[in-house]
Chain A
Amino acid sequence: MYLLTSQGEREQADPRFREEVRLRSGQPVELCFQCQECTNGCPVAEFAAYRPGLVVRLVQLGLRHRALSADLLWLCPACETCAARCPNGISVRRVLDVLRGMSVAAGLVPLNHRELVFDHLFLTGIAGRGRVAELPLLLRYKLATREILRDAGLGLRMLRRGKLPLRTDGVKNRAEVRRLFRAVADAGASPEQVENPHLLRATAGAGGGW
Chain B
Amino acid sequence: MRYSYYPGCSLAAAAAEYDLSLRRVCAALGVDLAELPDWNCCGATPAARVSTALALALSARNLALAQRAGLDLMVPCAACYNRLRRAEHALASEGPRRRNLEEMLNFRYTGEVKVVSAPEAVCRVGLRAIADRVRRPLEGLQVACYYGCLLVRPPEIVAFDDEESPVLLDKLMLALGATPVEWAYKTDCCGAGLALTRPETAQRLVDRLLAAAAEAGAEAVVTACNQCQISLETRRAAASPPLPVFYFTELTGLAMGVPGTGDWFRRHLVDPLPLLRRLRLAG
Number of A-B contacts (CB under 8 A): 160
Question: Which one of A47, A77, A101, A164 lies within 8 Å of B13 (CB-CB)?
Answer: A164
> Is B125 part of the binding interface, using a Cβ–Cβ cutoff of 8 Å?
no
Cβ-defined contact, A132 with B9, below 8 A: yes
Query: Counting chain A CB atoms within 10 Å of each CB, which of B105, B196, B201, B268 scores highest?
Result: B196
Question: A residues within 8 A CB of B49?
Answer: 78, 97, 100, 119, 195-196
CB distance from B265 to the nearest CB of A (A): 10
* Closest B residue by C-beta to A150: B199
**Interface contact A176-B51, CB-CB below 8 Å:** no
B242 within 8 A of A: no
> Quick one: closest A residue to B230, CB to CB?
A163
Complex Cα distance A199/B49, Å? 10
B53 touches A187 (CB 8 A): yes
Contact of B50 among A135, A151, A195 (CB under 8 A): A195
Q: Which of B45, B51, B58, B198 is the one whose CB lies under 8 Å from A193? A: B51
Out of B15, B39, B193, B267, name the residue touching A77 (CB < 8 Å). B193
For residue B266, CB closer than 8 A to chain A, the reply is yes
Docked Cα-Cα span, A155 to B196, in Å, equals: 12
Query: If the complex has contacts A119-B50, A176-B61, A200-B51, are A80 and B154 also in contact, measured as CB distance less than 8 A?
Result: yes
Produce 1/0 per residue, B1-22, CB < 8 A to A: 0000000011011111000000
For residue B58, which residues in chain A have a CB less than 8 angstroms away from its CB? 126, 177, 180
Residue-wise, chain A 117-135 has the 8 Å CB interface mask toward B (1 for contact) of: 0110011001000111111
Q: How far is the CA of A84 from the CA of B158 in the complex (A)?
A: 12
Query: Per-residue 0/1 for B111-136: is the Cβ within 8 Å of any A Cβ (1 yes, 0 no)?
Result: 00000000000000000000000000
Contact stretch, chosen from B184-192, B215-223, B252-260: B184-192
Number of interface residues of A (CB under 8 A): 62
Residue of B nearest to A135 (CB): B13
Contact A83 B14 (CB under 8 A): no
B50 and A81 contacting across the interface, CB-CB below 8 Å: no
* B33 proximal to A (CB < 8 A): no
- B13 near A131: Cβ-Cβ < 8 Å: no
Instruction: Give the interface segment out of A1-9, A30-38, A54-62, A167-175.
Output: A167-175
Interface size on B, residues (CB 8 A): 53
Which residue from A47, A122, A130, A183 sits with its C-beta under 8 Å from B46? Answer: A122
Rounded to whole angstroms, the CA-CA distance of A75 and B194 in the bound complex is: 8
CB contacts (< 8 Å) of B267 on chain A: these are 161-163
The residues of B that contact A131 with a CB separation of less than 8 Å are: 9, 40-41
Q: Check B54–A154 contact: CB distance below 8 A.
A: no
The answer to whether B38 and A171 have CB atoms under 8 Å apart is: yes
Please indicate the chain A residues that have their CB under 8 angstroms from the CB of B9 in the complex: 131-134, 168
Residues of A close to B47: CB separation below 8 A: 123, 126
Partner of A80, one of B10, B16, B104, B153: B153
The one of A75, A97, A176 in contact with B201, judged by C-beta atoms closer than 8 angstroms, is: A75
Q: Do the beta carbons of B149 and A194 come within 8 Å of each other?
A: no
Is B48 part of the contact surface with A, judged by Cβ < 8 Å?
yes
- Which residues of the partner chain A approach B13 to less than 8 Å between Cβ atoms? 133-135, 163-165, 168
B44 sits at the interface (CB 8 A): yes
Interface contact B57-A183, CB-CB below 8 Å: yes
* Contact present for A84 and B163 (CB under 8 Å): yes
Bound Cα distance from A83 to B201, whole angstroms: 21
Residues of A within 8 A of B155 (CB): 84
Q: Which of B127-173 touch A at CB < 8 Å?
A: 149, 153-155, 163
Shortest CB–CB separation between residue B226 and chain A, in angstroms?
Answer: 11
**Would you mind naming 10 contact pairs between A and B with Cβ atoms under 8 Å apart?**
A47-B201, A74-B197, A80-B153, A123-B46, A126-B41, A130-B41, A157-B269, A163-B15, A163-B16, A184-B53
Identify the B interface with A (CB < 8 A). 9-10, 12-16, 38-41, 43-54, 57-58, 61, 100, 104-105, 149, 153-155, 163, 188-189, 191-194, 196-199, 201-202, 204-205, 234, 266-269
Besides A83-B154, A180-B58, A192-B52, 16 new A-B residue pairs in contact (Cβ under 8 A), listed by A number: A43-B189, A47-B201, A77-B189, A77-B194, A77-B202, A79-B153, A81-B153, A97-B49, A114-B198, A122-B46, A151-B199, A162-B267, A180-B54, A180-B105, A189-B53, A194-B53
